[in-house]
């Protein structure tokens, strides 16, 4: 959520996705923001009593898209075709793009190109009212959680790329606290609802184990 970010918070990679005011999802978003404001990230991800899981996942998925959008927006000048010719998270993990529709066979591409494809694809999913209904009474599709899991799995890859390839720039921009808080919130959420398989988290497993499981502050540097 935007309160996590400082003077650079208006710099986004893609247009921000807004939840319409007056909707129940907007109320849920406000609840999430208030809980996050307390500083208790574990409490902030818990499904509020009496609320629908799909709606809660939808609101948080939109929020994470916006957070990652802003974070990546701060380092786009450093993530170029030259500096990042492949989409990777360390030499051990490389990602090839496919969306199963327009690009069915995975293609190797630069990090900025991959992330552009990824964020455009996520944006299209979030804007599709048949997948992410914003009106009260309109049901979510039966496979909604599967859709959300795919979105969150792919958004994680942007975190992984930033940490492995651009953390020095993040430090230079004084954005490390924002990145770490956002990532910690993201991991608490996907763990709470089992949204991402453990193998998909492997590129940042050391960070997750050291900083989250042992409850050590995420304010330090990533090695």
DSSP H/E element including 88: strand 87-88
Q: How many CB atoms lie within 10 A of CB 100?
A: 8
Q: How many CA atoms lie within 13 A of 6 on its CB side?
A: 10
> Is 185 flagged in the annotation as binding?
no
Q: Report the SS3 class of residue 27.
A: helix
What the block records as the tokens of 78 is 């450093």
> Residue 93: which residues within 8 A CB-CB, separation 6 or more?
160, 202, 203
What the block records as the tokens of 114 is 């991959």
Query: In angstroms, rounded to a whole number, what is the distance separating the alpha carbons of residues 88 and 157?
Result: 8
Query: In angstroms, rounded to a whole number, what is the distance separating the alpha carbons of residues 33 and 121?
Result: 26
> Is 84 flagged in the annotation as binding?
yes
For CA atoms 32, 71, 223, 89, give the dihedral sign: positive
Residue in the block written with tokens 């990602």: 95
Given a contact cutoff of 8 angstroms between Cβ atoms, the answer to whether 120 and 15 are in contact is no
> Is 109 flagged in the annotation as binding?
no
> Is 166 flagged in the annotation as binding?
yes
Q: Report the SS3 class of residue 19.
A: coil
Binding-site positions for Zn(2+) read: 79, 84, 161, 166
Binding residues: 79, 84, 161, 166
């Amino acid at each position: 959520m935007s309160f996590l970010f400082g003077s650079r918070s208006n710099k986004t990679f893609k247009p921000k996705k807004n939840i319409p005011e007056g909707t129940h999802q907007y109320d849920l978003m406000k609840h999430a923001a208030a809980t996050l404001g307390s500083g208790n990230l574990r409490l902030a991800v818990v499904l509020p009593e009496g609320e629908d899981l799909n709606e809660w996942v939808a609101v948080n998925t939109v929020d994470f898209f916006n957070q990652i959008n802003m974070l990546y927006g701060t380092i786009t000048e450093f993530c170029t075709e030259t500096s990042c010719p492949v989409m990777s998270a360390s030499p051990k993990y490389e990602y090839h793009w496919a969306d199963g529709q327009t690009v069915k066979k995975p293609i190797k591409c630069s990090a900025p190109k991959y992330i552009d494809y990824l964020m455009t694809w996520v944006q299209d999913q979030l804007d599709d009212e048949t997948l992410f209904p914003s009106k009260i009474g309109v049901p979510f599709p039966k496979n909604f959680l599967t859709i959300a899991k795919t979105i969150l799995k792919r958004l994680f890859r942007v975190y992984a790329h930033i940490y492995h390839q651009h953390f020095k720039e993040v430090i230079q921009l004084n954005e490390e606290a924002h990145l770490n808080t956002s990532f910690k919130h993201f991991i608490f959420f996907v763990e709470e609802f089992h949204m991402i398989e453990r193998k998909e988290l492997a590129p940042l497993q050391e960070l997750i184990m050291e900083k989250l499981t042992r409850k050590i502050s995420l304010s330090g540097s990533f090695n």
